[in-house]
């Protein structure tokens, strides 16, 4: 690609005034020497001046306020979702800790605490698994009920 072709591609951008100072100087220099590019350059400039004189369409204030309201609603919903996720994680960890802790307390109160350390510890672990699953199921049902209620509340807004 020679200088002529390279600079010819820049003429449109130059007319829009979007070139760097060096690029603009090269275009100016070439245009003063090349008749073909000079003609195209003046056509581009005419077009640029015409475009600049056109009125810039402005969005109606109603559209702007509606868009802003939509954006803030979206952001609120996203923040709400993030918060919900953190609450869910916290509830899961809490539920799990509660399951383990309460199981230990129950074992301790029933005097079977040391069964854990016994060689045949399969049964206590089975009990713990069942107990944990029951608690998780209860927690899951509670989470679903809360989620459905939350969605219903949001629809009412
Ligand atoms: Zn040229």
Name the DSSP class of 121: T
Q: In angstroms, what is the span from residue 53 Cα to ligand 1's centroid? A: 28
Q: In angstroms, what is the span from residue 27 Cα to ligand 1's centroid? A: 9
Q: In angstroms, what is the span from residue 51 Cα to ligand 1's centroid? A: 24
pLDDT score recorded for residue 19: 92
69-81 per-position pLDDT tens digit: 999 999 998 988 8
Q: How far is CA 89 from the centre of its chain?
A: 20
Name the DSSP class of 111: T
What CA–CA distance (Å, rounded) separates 90 from 82?
Answer: 12
> Nearest Cα to 99, choosing from 125, 131, 140, 137?
131
What residues does the ion ligand 1 have nearby, CB within 5 Å? 4, 34, 37
pLDDT score recorded for residue 92: 80
Query: What does the CA dihedral 93, 97, 103, 105 come to, rounded to 10 degrees?
Result: -160
pLDDT score recorded for residue 47: 92
- Please give the share of the chain, as a percent, with pLDDT higher than 70: 87
In the chain, the N- to C-terminal Cα span, in Å, equals: 62
85-132 per-position pLDDT tens digit: 888 888 888 887 887 787 777 777 776 655 555 555 556 667 777 777
pLDDT score recorded for residue 115: 58
Q: In angstroms, what is the span from residue 2 Cα to ligand 1's centroid? A: 9
The per-residue pLDDT of the chain, averaged, comes to 83
SS3 113: helix
Q: Are 135 and 99 in contact (CB under 8 A)?
A: yes
Q: In angstroms, what is the span from residue 21 Cα to ligand 1's centroid? A: 19
């Amino acid at each position: 690609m020679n200088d002529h072709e390279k600079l010819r591609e820049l003429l449109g951008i130059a007319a829009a005034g979007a070139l760097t100072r060096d690029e603009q100087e090269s275009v100016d220099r070439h245009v003063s020497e090349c008749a073909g590019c000079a003609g195209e350059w003046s056509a581009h400039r005419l077009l640029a001046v015409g475009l600049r004189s056109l009125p810039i369409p402005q969005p109606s204030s109603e559209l702007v306020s509606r868009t802003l309201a939509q954006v803030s609603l979206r952001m609120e919903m996203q923040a709400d979702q993030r918060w919900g996720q953190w609450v869910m994680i916290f509830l899961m960890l809490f539920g799990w800790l509660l399951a383990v802790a309460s199981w230990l307390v129950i074992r301790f109160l029933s005097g079977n605490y040391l069964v854990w350390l016994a060689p045949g510890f399969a049964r206590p672990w089975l009990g713990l698994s069942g107990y944990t699953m029951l608690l998780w199921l209860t927690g899951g049902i509670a989470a679903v009920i809360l989620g459905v209620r939350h969605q219903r509340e949001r629809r009412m807004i």
